[in-house]
Amino acid sequence: MLRLSYWIFPILSGVVWLGTLLGLLIYWNVDAHKVHYDSMAPNQDIAYISDVGASTLKPLFITGCVITTVFLDISFGADRWLRHRGRLVPNTTLTEKVLSGLTIVFALIGTAGLILLSIFDTAHHPKLHDIFLLLFIAGYVISAIFICWEYQRLGITYRQHRVLRISFWIKLSFVILEILLAIAFVACTFTKNYNPGAIFEWIIAFIFSFYVFSFYVDLYPAVYTKETSGGKPRYVSGANATGPGHNSNSRDLDMEEAGSDRHLTNSSSGGGGLMPHNTQHLNHQHHHHGHANTTTTTTPGRGLPSNF
Give the CA count within 13 Å in the CB-facing half-sphere of 269.
Answer: 14
Q: What is the 3-state secondary structure (H, E, C) of 36-68?
A: CCCCCCCCCCCCCHHHHHCCCCHHHHHHHHHHH
* H helix and E strand count, the chain: 8, 6
**Are 245 and 270 contacting, i.e. CB atoms less than 8 angstroms apart?**
yes
More confidently predicted of 194 and 250: 194
Does the pLDDT at position 290 exceed 90?
Answer: no
> What per-residue confidence (pLDDT) applies to 157?
81
Q: What CA–CA distance (Å, rounded) separates 35 from 46?
A: 9
Q: Assign 267 a pLDDT band (cuts: 50, 70, 90).
A: very low
Q: What are the backbone dihedrals phi and psi of residue 280, each rounded to the nearest 5 degrees, phi first?
A: -90, 120
Global pTM reads 0.71
Does the pLDDT at position 181 exceed 80?
Answer: yes
> What per-residue confidence (pLDDT) applies to 305?
34
Does the pLDDT at position 289 exceed 60?
Answer: no
Q: What is the mean pLDDT of the chain?
A: 77
> What per-residue confidence (pLDDT) applies to 227?
58
Q: Assign 257 a pLDDT band (cuts: 50, 70, 90).
A: very low
Q: Assign 151 a pLDDT band (cuts: 50, 70, 90).
A: confident
Mean pLDDT over 275-301 rounds to 40
Q: For the purposes of burial, counting CB atoms within 10 Å of the CB of 246, is it exposed (0-12), middle (13-18) or buried (19 or more)?
A: buried
Per-residue pLDDT tens for 39-75? 999 989 999 999 999 999 999 999 999 999 999 999 9
Per-residue pLDDT tens for 112-141? 999 999 999 999 999 999 999 999 999 999
Q: What CA–CA distance (Å, rounded) separates 282 from 296?
A: 6
**Are 58 and 121 contacting, i.e. CB atoms less than 8 angstroms apart?**
yes
More confidently predicted of 42 and 294: 42
Compute how many other C-beta atoms are within 10 angstroms of the C-beta atom of residue 247: 10
Q: What CA–CA distance (Å, rounded) separates 13 from 73?
A: 9
> What per-residue confidence (pLDDT) applies to 2?
63
Query: Largest Cα–Cα distance in the chain?
Result: 100
